[in-house]
Amino acid sequence: QVRDGAGEKQLKKIEAMILSMTAMERHNPDIINGSRKLRIARGSGTTTRDVNQLLNQFTQLKKLTKSL
């Protein structure tokens, strides 16, 4: 079990990043380049590293679901 709300804090960061994306970026994350990552990071109060981690996690989940 996650203590002191760390999991909830992480989910809020993820939500903020997703809400900072355009509909097109949410539909097709492959179009997210460096300047878009910077805009998403600034809009969500996170870093480009956080955005990269989110995109990498999404890519891994996408591959996993395709292999099922």
Q: Domain containing 46 — which CATH number?
A: 1.10.260.30
Which whole-number Å values give the CA distances from 24 to 5, 20, 33, 49, 68, in the listed order? 31, 12, 13, 21, 26
pLDDT tens per residue, range 4-44: 688 999 999 999 999 999 999 999 999 999 999 999 999 99
Cα 37 from Cα 43, distance rounded (Å): 10
Any domain includes 57: yes
Q: Looking at residue 22, what is its pLDDT?
A: 98
Q: What domain count does the chain have?
A: 1
Torsion angle, CA of 31/34/35/38, rounded to 10 degrees?
Answer: 110
Structural domain harbouring 16: 6-67
pTM attached to this predicted model: 0.87
